[in-house]
Chain A
């Protein structure tokens, strides 16, 4: 099996993608709602990722 080398950002984006897919599928009752919720959760993951990344960069100086 090939070994994968990812940056923190790439790994966290993949984590966000798969998690938001599952959350979208299991949370809402209509297909439209599932797509919207999945995209919303993915957006929140990315926003939190970028915000916390900047916070850590600024915190370290």
Chain B
């Protein structure tokens, strides 16, 4: 029997190397890249994430609140809330300024809700990219 050689696990880089850029990337879309002196990419990420979030608001999308119920309800509402939260300061500003939109029928509202969650998920991709740049895995 042949045994596969175990892939050697790389040690986790210290938090102070990647922590500030990932935290800033979460709070301000593109902020992590700006901190790492990738201003062009930072601008594009900000434009894409903030643009998608603003369009979601203009389409009167719904912001999720975490709700526990059956499995599907929990996945949709907790997952949606986490997705919204990943937009960072955009989400906090929206809540602070008192944006409320009940869940309504209609394709425009529905797209708006998806845009708001997707903006947060795109910001997660930007955070992962900032992490990889910070630890030197990417240029």
Q: Is the interface of B mostly helix, strand, loop or mixed?
A: helix
Q: A18-B51, A18-B52 are in contact. Are A25 and B45 (CB under 8 A)?
A: yes
Tell me if B48 and A18 are in contact (CB < 8 A). Answer: yes
Count of interface residues, chain B, beta-carbon cutoff 8 Å: 28
Residue in chain B with minimal CB distance to A28: B138
Q: A6-B111, A11-B108, A18-B122 are in contact. Are A26 and B60 (CB under 8 A)?
A: no
Tell me if B59 and A19 are in contact (CB < 8 A). Answer: no
Q: A1-B58, A4-B58, A4-B108 are in contact. Are A21 and B118 (CB under 8 A)?
A: no
Q: Is the interface of A mostly helix, strand, loop or mixed?
A: helix
- Interface readout for B104-128 with A: 1 if CB under 8 Å, 0 if not? 0001100100110011001001101
Contacts of B125 in A (CB 8 A): 22-23, 26
Tell me if B44 and A19 are in contact (CB < 8 A). Answer: no
Tell me if B47 and A21 are in contact (CB < 8 A). Answer: yes
Tell me if B59 and A22 are in contact (CB < 8 A). Answer: no
Q: A6-B111, A14-B55, A18-B52 are in contact. Are A26 and B129 (CB under 8 A)?
A: yes
Count of interface residues, chain A, beta-carbon cutoff 8 Å: 19
Contacts of A60 in B (CB 8 A): none
- Is A54 located at the chain interface by the 8 A CB criterion? no
A-to-B contact residues, CB < 8 Å: 1-6, 8, 11, 14-15, 18-19, 21-23, 25-26, 29, 31
Tell me if A22 and B108 are in contact (CB < 8 A). Answer: no
Q: How distant is the Cα of A34 from the Cα of B44 in the complex, in angstroms?
A: 11
Tell me if B41 and A3 are in contact (CB < 8 A). Answer: no
- Is B24 located at the chain interface by the 8 A CB criterion? no
Tell me if A4 and B55 are in contact (CB < 8 A). Answer: yes
Q: A1-B58, A2-B58, A3-B60 are in contact. Are A22 and B111 (CB under 8 A)?
A: no
